[in-house]
Structure 1
Amino acid sequence: MVSHSGLITVMQRAARKAAPRIRRDFGEVEQLQVSRKGPADFVSMADERAEGTLLDELRHARPDWGFLMEEAGAIEGAPGKPRWVLDPIDGTSNFLHGIPHFAISIAVQEPKPGGGWGDVTQGLVYQPLTDESYWAEKGRGAWLNERRLRVSSRVDLADALVATGIPYKGHGHLERFRKILDSVSPEVAGIRRFGSAALDLAWVAAGRFDGFWEEDLQYWDIAAGMLLVREAGGFITDFRGGDSGLAQGQVLAATDHIHSRLHKLVAGALR
C-alpha cells in the first residue's frame, strides 16, 4: 500500500463520490440539460451536479478552505488557508458527444505569505470510467493508483508522441497554432488532440505522451496535471521557457530530454 497524506485520501474519496453519477449521466447523455456559456463552451447538468458533490465533500473535510471552480467560480476561505482548485469534468465536449475521454481534476494550492496564490502541493486527475487515479504530492512523487509514475525515457524528438489542443470557435489563436504546428509536426513521430488537458498532462507523467503544448487554458484545467508532470520527473514551462505564462494558461510540458528541443521549436515559431 502506497503511503500518502490524508489530503490525497480526501481528494480520492470526493472524486469517487462524484463518479457514479457522472457514469450514469454519460450513459444517458442525450437526456442531459445543456446550456451554453459562450461560443462552443457548454455546461451540462452533469458538470453542475459533479461540482456540487465535490464542493460538499471537500468542504466537509476542510470547512475553512476556499475554492476555485470552473462553474461556480471563486469562493473565499479563511485568511491564510489553502484553496481547492477543481474542474468537475475536464473534457466536457467529449462527454457530451459520448466520447469516453474526460476526467475530474482536483488540486490544493497554498497561499503566498504576502497575498495571492503560490504552489500546488497535491493534485489528482481521476478518470471515472476507468477508475484510473493519477495523483501527486509535492516532493513525494507521482502515482497511478498504486504504481509510481515516471515520464518516458525517450531522448529523440523524432521518436516522440506529442499532444496538443487545437483552437476552435471562439477559443485560442489559430494563426499562432498553425505556426507552431508547422514547426513541430515535421520533427516528431506524431501529434494527438484528445480534448482533455488534465488527462494529457497525466499521460505525460505516465509516459504515454512525451510532450504537450497548449494555450488559452484555465488554471483548473492544468493545476493538478502540472504537479503530476513535475513529480514524475518532467518539465513544465510556458512557451518562452519561463513560468510567467502558466497563470494565463500557456503550458509546455515534456520529458527532461524532449523539453528543450520542443521548447526551441515552439519559441522559434513565435519569433
Structure 2
Amino acid sequence: MDYLSVAIEAAKEAGKFLKMNLGKVKNIERKREEINLVTEIDKGSEKKIIEFIKSKFPNHSILAEESGETSKTSEYKWIIDPLDGTTNYTHSFPVFCVSIALEYKGEVIIGVVYDPNLDELFYAEKGKGAFLNGKKISVSKTDKLIKSMLATGFPYNVKENPDNCVEHFVNFLMEAQAIRRLGSAALDLVYVACGRLDGFWEVDLNPWDVAAGKIIIEEAGGMITDFYGNKFSIYTKGVVASNGLIHQQMLEIIKKGLNKNERR
C-alpha cells in the first residue's frame, strides 16, 4: 500500500471506532489545563491508527497527541490526532474527526482528515491537488472580509490568559460577515480548503491539529501563514489560513490585537 492509502484506511477505521463509541465515554481525564480533556476513546483510536501504520511501515517515526513522539531516527514521521474535537465528543456533539499527516524530511507530503459523522474524507498529496470523497476541491473566491465567514478556536489556557485570543475575536467580529467556533481545528482547516469557510485563525495549536489541514489547504489553492505572514510551520503556535484573497486583510486584523497586547 502507498502512503496515502495507508493514511486513508487508518483514518476510516479510527473514524468507524469513534462513531461506534459516541455516547459511550466512561472515563474522562484532564490534562494540565482543567478544560483539556482526554478519554479512553482518544487512546483507543490512537492505538488503532499507530498499530496499522506500524504494520505497514515499522521503521517510521510517530508523533501522536496522546502518546507523544516515538523514535526520531526515520526521515518519515506520521503526525496523528486520533480524535480532534474531544470536548465535542464527550458531549455527543457530532463535530469531530480523525487527522493523519505524513512528514518527510520536515515537510508534510500527505494529509487526511476524516469526519465519520458526515462520512467526509478530505485528503491531499503534495503536488496532486486536494479532494473530498474523490472530488477535487478548491478554496472560495470571496475577496472581502465583510463578505467572509471565518472560524476560530480558543486555547485551553483561555481562562488564564483571555487577552491572548479574545482581542482577535472581537476585532474580527467587527469586520467579518460571520464567525463560527466548531471545536475542531482540523475541520476548520479543511472547510477553508473546500470553500465552506473563507478563513480561519487560532492562537495556540499543536502539530497534530494542523499538519493534515495545512497540506489540504495548500493543495486546494489556499494560503496558510503564521500571525506575521511568514511561511507556516506546523510547529508554529499561531495560524492564519484563508482562500488567499482575504489573507492580507486577516493579517491586518491580527496585527491590531498583537499590537494592543504588546502595549499591555
Q: 1:87-131, CA deviations, whole angstroms, 9 ceiling, x for partnerless residues?
A: 0000000000110000100000112xxxxxx11000000112222
Q: Secondary structure at the match of 1:109?
A: strand
Residues 67 and 75 of structure 1 are in contact (CA less than 8 Å); yes or no, is this contact kept in structure 2? Answer: yes
Q: Secondary structure at the match of 1:247?
A: coil
Question: Post-superposition shift, 1:80?
Answer: 4.2
Residues 11 and 114 of structure 2 are in contact (CA less than 8 Å); yes or no, is this contact kept in structure 1? Answer: yes
Whether 1:66 aligns to 2:54 is no
Q: Secondary structure at the match of 1:224?
A: helix
Whether 1:17 aligns to 2:16 is no
The partner residue of 2:169 within 156, 181, 199 is 181
Q: Which amino acid aligns with 1:13?
A: E
CA distance in 1, matches of 2:124, 2:62: 19
Residues 200 and 212 of structure 1 are in contact (CA less than 8 Å); yes or no, is this contact kept in structure 2? Answer: yes
Q: Secondary structure at the match of 1:26?
A: coil
Whether 1:157 aligns to 2:145 is yes
Question: Post-superposition shift, 1:267?
Answer: 1.5
The aligned counterpart of 2:98 is 104
CA distance in 2, matches of 1:244, 1:253: 10
Whether 1:35 aligns to 2:29 is yes
Question: Post-superposition shift, 1:246?
Answer: 4.7
Q: 1:103-162, CA deviations, whole angstroms, 9 ceiling, x for partnerless residues?
A: 100000112xxxxxx110000001122221100111111100111010001111111000
Question: Post-superposition shift, 1:245?
Answer: 6.7
Question: Post-superposition shift, 1:182?
Answer: 2.8
Question: Post-superposition shift, 1:27?
Answer: 3.6
Equivalences for 1:130-141 in 2 at 5 Å? 130-141=118-129
Q: How many residues align?
A: 258
Q: Which amino acid aligns with 2:166?
A: R
| TM-score of the superposed pair, with normalisation by structure 2 | 0.93
CA distance in 2, matches of 1:171, 1:183: 19
Uncovered stretches (5+) of structure 1, i.e. residues with no partner? 112-117
Give the root-mean-square deviation of aligned CA atoms.
Answer: 1.7
| TM-score of the superposed pair, with normalisation by structure 1 | 0.90
The partner residue of 1:51 within 46, 53, 63 is 46
Identity %: 36
Question: Post-superposition shift, 1:20?
Answer: 2.5
Q: Secondary structure at the match of 1:270?
A: helix
Whether 1:254 aligns to 2:248 is no
CA distance in 2, matches of 1:101, 1:172: 26
The partner residue of 1:231 within 196, 201, 219 is 219
Return 241-250 or 201-210, whichever deviates more: 241-250
Q: Which amino acid aligns with 2:226?
A: D
Residues 78 and 103 of structure 2 are in contact (CA less than 8 Å); yes or no, is this contact kept in structure 1? Answer: yes
Residues 114 and 120 of structure 2 are in contact (CA less than 8 Å); yes or no, is this contact kept in structure 1? Answer: yes
CA distance in 1, matches of 2:109, 2:59: 18
Q: Which amino acid aligns with 1:18?
A: A
User: Residues 72, 243 of structure 1: CA spacing in aligned structure 2 closer, same or farther, 3 A cutoff?
Assistant: same
Q: Secondary structure at the match of 2:88?
A: helix
Question: Post-superposition shift, 1:46?
Answer: 0.5
Q: Secondary structure at the match of 2:22?
A: helix
